[in-house]
Amino acid sequence: MRLHYLQHVPFENPGSILTWAKENDHVITNTQLYQNASLPKQQDFDWLVVMGGPMNIYEEEKYPWLAVEKAFIREAIASGKVIIGLCLGGQLIADAIGGKVTQNPYKEIGWFPIRLSEAARLSPLFSFFPEQSVVFQWHGDTFSILPEDAECIAESQACKHQAFIYKKRVFAFQYHMENTPDIIEGLVENCKEEMVPDLYVQTPEELLAHPEYIEQNNKWMNQFLAQLEKMYRKGGALMHQISYTKRNCTDREKIETFLLRERVGVLGMVSDSLPYAVPVNYVWHKGSVYFHGMGSGKKVSILSDNPPVIFTIYKEHGTVTDPVPCHVDTSYMSVMLFGQAAKVTDSEEAAAVLQKLLEKFMPKYYSHPLTSTLIEKYRSGMDGNGVAVYRLTPQEMTAKENAVAADQLFNQKAQ
């Protein structure tokens, strides 16, 4: 799994999240926005962690990269990424998808209890949390109005909305469970002017006096991440061991040729706990499956809410004869890809992929290539929307083959 994090100041990093990611051999990359570093392409990461910071979400004149970051977050959500926002990061998520961020009635700095909703505690993601948990806070603003379809999962006496979930894969936390002693010391050193005595503002000594709270918060964060990864991989790398290993195909060149040659795959999704599968034309390009369709409809709706998918490509060559009826078989090859279907938001990428589809299905028919401008302007006469292009970069791939010589296959004409 590839984890990318956005950092706003040097003294606020992902803390225990980094430790967890390293211990689980995940690939870690980051963008230091305060250094005006470039953001990655959406296909280059799986999870996005948006860190905290002392700036406010509306200070775009002072921090011009905030506007770019919000657009990037919106694109990541549309691409089906798992996203975790912490404090400012959670506020940026809320603002990016239509919520409202305003000043909280109270500034919260220190260790204060939060209450998880009953629905949250029934979820595997948070079942290990007690009903009331003491967590670390450092914020003056909050997401006062949640984005549409977001679910509040935590509150406190000082703050009505302490955390929310959006589309089952976007998580915004007003509080910090990732902080280490070094991070808290950095906050005290760099943001001490914010620590004006108030009802919910503790002293620097109180902030640093609870190593047991830090340890417990880090443990909760690790448990949350472990459960989230388990759920994430239900659409990915887990569950996909081939039981009949005799037909396991590991020839990468043969698999690549098969994926390039075949034209139709079956896209398997889950809608309201029920399976839903549709055949789609596809193209295999740079290690990903691409497919397209209308900009609205059931498929688009399902993939927006539940992007984990399975994509199956198969080719039957014929029936294998045998004197014993129960030994009659088929000759075939099949490949199954598991991962997250992400909507392509880059018009140049979409144009390149649609051009590949045209070349595959209608080679040399059109004299002029598709352009990104055409893709941006195109609107369907059926629903008025643009074309929807999806990318599936497999987290896991399995292949099976029963290769049989043609003279061993059933031939009705020869009977």
Q: How far is CA 121 from CA 70, 108, 229, in A?
A: 30, 24, 18
Burial class (CB in 10 A: 0-12, 13-18, 19+), 200: middle
Burial class (CB in 10 A: 0-12, 13-18, 19+), 362: exposed
Please report, as a single letter, which amino acid is at residue 147: P
Model confidence pLDDT, tens digit, residues 316-370 = 999 988 888 888 888 999 999 988 899 999 999 999 999 999 999 999 898 889 9
For the chain, which domains are there? Answer: 2-237 (3.40.50.880), 245-402 (2.30.110.10)
DSSP class of residue 126 equals T
pLDDT for position 127:
86
pLDDT for position 122:
81
Cβ neighbours for 69, distance < 8 A, ≥ 6 positions apart: 6, 33, 39, 50, 92
Residue range 80-93: average pLDDT?
96
Model confidence pLDDT, tens digit, residues 96-126 = 999 999 999 999 999 999 999 988 888 889 9
Contact 315, 266 (CB under 8 A): no
Q: pTM above 0.75?
A: no
Is the predicted pLDDT of residue 241 greater than 50, yes or no? no
Please report, as a single letter, which amino acid is at residue 219: K
The pLDDT confidence band at residue 397, using thresholds 50, 70 and 90, is confident
Contact 192, 201 (CB under 8 A): no
Alpha helix stretches (DSSP H) within 191-274: 204-207, 211-233, 252-261
Contact 113, 79 (CB under 8 A): no
pLDDT for position 242:
53
Please report, as a single letter, which amino acid is at residue 232: Y
User: How many Cα atoms are found within 13 Å in the side-chain-facing hemisphere of 81?
Assistant: 29
Is the predicted pLDDT of residue 135 greater than 70, yes or no? yes
Q: Rounded to a whole number, what is the distance in angstroms from the first to the last CA of the chain?
A: 54
Mean pLDDT, all residues of the chain: 91
Lowest mean pLDDT segment, chosen from 13-27, 175-189, 303-317, 396-410: 396-410
**Backbone φ, ψ for residue 254 (5° rounding):** -65, -40
Residue range 10-20: average pLDDT?
97
pLDDT for position 245:
64
pLDDT for position 239:
35
DSSP class of residue 69 equals H
Query: Which DSSP string corresponds to 266-311?
Result: EEEEEETTEEEEEEEE-EEETTEEEEEE-SSSHHHHHHHH--EEEE
The partner residues of 398 in beta bridges, in order of sequence, read 336
Model confidence pLDDT, tens digit, residues 202-230 = 999 999 999 999 999 999 999 999 999 98
Cβ neighbours for 195, distance < 8 A, ≥ 6 positions apart: 109, 188, 201, 203, 204
Of 159 and 339, the one with more pLDDT: 159
Contact 192, 204 (CB under 8 A): yes
Q: Are strands 170-173 and 163-166 parallel, antiparallel or unpaired?
A: antiparallel
3-state class (DSSP) for residue 361: helix
Lowest mean pLDDT segment, chosen from 176-180, 211-215, 249-253, 256-260: 249-253
Residue range 168-176: average pLDDT?
95
Is the predicted pLDDT of residue 415 greater than 70, yes or no? no
